[in-house]
Amino acid sequence: MKVIIAEKPSVARDIAKVLDIKAAKKGYIEGRGCAVTWAFGHLVTLQEPGEYNPALKRWSLESLPFVPDEFKLKLISNRGVDEQFQIIKNLCEQAEEIVCATDAGREGELIFRYILALSGCEDKPIRRLWLNSLTPDAILAAFKDLKDGHDYDPLYAAARCRSESDWIVGLNATRFYTVKHGRIGGGNDRVLWTIGRVQTPVLAMIVERDDTILQFRPQLFWELTTRYRDVTFKYTGKRFEKPEKAQNLLNKITDQPFEITTVVGKKKKDQAPQLFDLTTLQRELNKLHTISAADTLSATQSLYEAKLVTYPRTDSRYLSEDMKPRIPKILAQLKTLRPEQISPVDLTKLPFSKRIINDKKVTDHHAIIPTGMIPGRIGTNEQLVYDAITTQFIAAFYSVCLKNITTVKGVSQTIQFQARGTQIVDPGWTVLFPKKKKSADGQTLPAFEKGESGSHEPSLREGKTIPPKHFSENTLLGAMEAAGKFVEDDSLREALKERGIGTPATRAAIIETLLRRNYIRREKKQLRCTDMGRCLIALIKDPLLKSPEMTGEWEEKLKQIERNELDPNDFMNGIGTYIRKMIQNSTSRQLDTSRWGKCPLCGKEVIKGHKAFGCSDWKEGCPFVLEPDCKGKMLTARQIQMLLQQQILPHPIRIDDELRLLILSTRGMLTDLRRPSADRQKRSTKTDRRSP
C-alpha cells in the first residue's frame, strides 16, 4: 500500500479526488492501493526541558544553559491530535512507500519528517510530491514527477536546525531574563520576558525607530524659490539653516530679471512591475488597504487551497523557463474576467524578459500568479488579494511607460534655479494602476527657450526637519527582508534579501507574536513599541540577541544548509556556543556612578537639581523632569541611575503614574508590570520647562 500524507484535510481531499480515490474512512481516504491521510499542520513538536529531566521544570539560573545532546519529540497537545497521529502511524507501519504531500517548503518538510520520526517509520521508502498549485492538472503533473524523498534531506536539515535553534535560544534566553529580571515588587509574582531568536531583533528595530523619533529635535530651515511663467523654480544650492543668508539672496534677486539658461529633455522608460513574492504582496496590501501581513497570508493561502493562485510562501518574483507554455493559456482564461485589460496583450508574442523568466532566481517556488481558474464568491480580503495578484500578473506583460522629463535651469543675478516637469508619452502598464500615475515631478511645463527672460516672483519658505516615520507593517516587512537596511528600490532589496530576518512564511507570524505579547501595538497604520517592549530591549545586555544583522546571517546559514553547502552540525554547534557565552556574559549591568544618565527625550546628560532630576539642555526647551518622589514613594539614587542608564523610561515620562514601569527595586527588578497597557496610556503627561 502507498500512503500519501497531506498537510491539511482539504488538500488531502483534492489529491484523492484527482487520483480517483473515493472510500472515506476515519482519518483517511482509501482506494486503488493508496491511502490519503492528513495532518492538521504541525502534529509533532520538541519536548520541554522538564520532559528530559523533571528537575528542569523549576526555572533557575543554575540549570542554564540547557542544550540537549539529542532532541526528543512529542505530540502537540491539541484536540484530536492523538487520534489522528495514531491513524497516520498505523497506515505508515503498513505502507510499502510513503509520499510526502505536505506544503512544498521548509516547514512542510519538517511536519512530514517529524511525523515519520515519532511514528518510527524513518526507514520506509519515501517520495516527495512538489506542488506549485492545487489545480487538477498541477497535481497530476506532480504525481507523474515524484522525487526521491531523500533528495530533500538538506531541506529537512535546515528545517530541523531552525526548529532546534529557536528552541535553544528562545527557551534559555526566556528563562534567564525572566528569572533574573522578572520579579515584581520583591514578591513571588514574575513577569514572563519572552525572547526569540528572530522576534527580539525585530522588536529592537521598532524600539530603536521609536526612540529616534521621540528624541528627534526639529531644526528650522529656509528654502529659496521663485515663480516664472507659473512654474516654480528651486534654488540649486543647499537649503539654508539660518534666515539671514537666504534673505540676502532674496534681496539680491528681487526686482531683477530671470533668464532661462538651459532646457534639456530626456526620455525615460519605467519598466512594468515584477510579479509578486509573498513579502512584496503583503507590503502592497498593507499599503493600499491596511491589511495585516498575517491576514494577507491567510487570504492567499485560502486562494491557493481554492486553486485560484499558486503556492504563496515564496521568496521569488520570477517564473521558470518551463512555465512559458502555460502563461498564454492562463491569460486566455483570465480574459473572460478582465477582457479590457488583457485585450491589448498579444498572447501569441508575449514579452518574456529576464524580469519575468529567470531560472536562476527560482529556487523552491516561482512567483505568485493566478492559475487561470475564475473565482466564485470569495471573502473581502481574498478578493483584494486576488485582484492584486491578477493585476500584477497582467501588468508584467504590458509595454513600458514612456515619459519625457524636462529639466529647465534659470538664473537671476548669478543665483541658479531649476525646475523639472514630466510628460507621459505612453502610459503603458500604468493604466492598470490609476493610483500610481502621479509623478514626483508632476509639474506641467510650458515651452521654454534658452535665453528668454522676464520678471519673476522670488520667495522664502520656512520649514522644519521631520523625524523618520514609525514603522508600518509595509515598511517593517521591508526592513525584515533586508535585515534592517530598508530600501525602496526593488533591485537593491533583491540583492540584500539573502540576509533577511525570518522567511516570507514566518514574518507575519513574528509581527503577530510581538502584538500578542504586548511588546508592540497597532496605532492606525503604525506599529509602535509598548513600555513592555522597550523595557525588554533595555534589559537585554547581549547585542547579538537583538541584532538584525546577526539574525540575517543565521538565516543565510539556514539557506546554505538547504543548498547542502553547510554542515548542519556546524550551525547547531555555533548556536550552542552562542547561548552559553550569552548567559555567561549577561551579568547585571555595571552602573556608572559618576553620572546620572542620559535624557530619554534628547540624549543629553541628566543633572540633579534641588528638588528633581532633569535634562541639562533645559534652557533650550527640553521638558524632561524626573521627581524622585513618585506617588508618595521615594526613589533612591541607585534607582534613578538604573532608570536613566538602562533607559527603561516611557517617552515622554508620565510623572503621575503609580510607579508605572519606572520604579526599580534595589536589586534592579522591574515593578508594577501588571497594569494593562491601555490603562497606562490614559494617564496624562506632566512636564516642567523650569530648571530641575
* Cα gap 537→131, rounded to integer Å: 41
* Cα gap 556→502, rounded to integer Å: 10
Number of H helices, E strands in the chain: 21, 23
The grid coordinates listed for 616 are 541639562
Q: Are 170 and 195 in contact (CB under 8 A)?
A: yes
* Cα gap 41→664, rounded to integer Å: 43
Closest by Cα among 406, 407, 416 to 258: 416
Closest by Cα among 143, 170, 149 to 65: 170
Q: Are 359 and 320 in contact (CB under 8 A)?
A: yes
* Cα gap 147→22, rounded to integer Å: 25
* Cα gap 564→148, rounded to integer Å: 16
Mind telling me the catalytic residues?
Answer: 311
* Cα gap 89→95, rounded to integer Å: 10
List of residues 6+ apart from 50 with CB closer than 8 A: 56, 57
Three-state DSSP state, 404 = strand
* Cα gap 439→404, rounded to integer Å: 12
Looking at this protein, which amino acid is placed at residue 169?
Answer: V
* Cα gap 289→227, rounded to integer Å: 38
Which burial class, exposed, middle or buried, applies to 483 when counting CB atoms under 10 A from its CB (0-12, 13-18, 19+)?
buried
> What radius of gyration, in Å, describes the C-alpha atoms of the chain?
30
Exposure of 295 in the CB half-sphere (CA atoms within 13 A): 16
- Secondary structure of the chain: what % helix, strand, coil (to 5)? 40, 20, 40
Q: Are 665 and 187 in contact (CB under 8 A)?
A: no
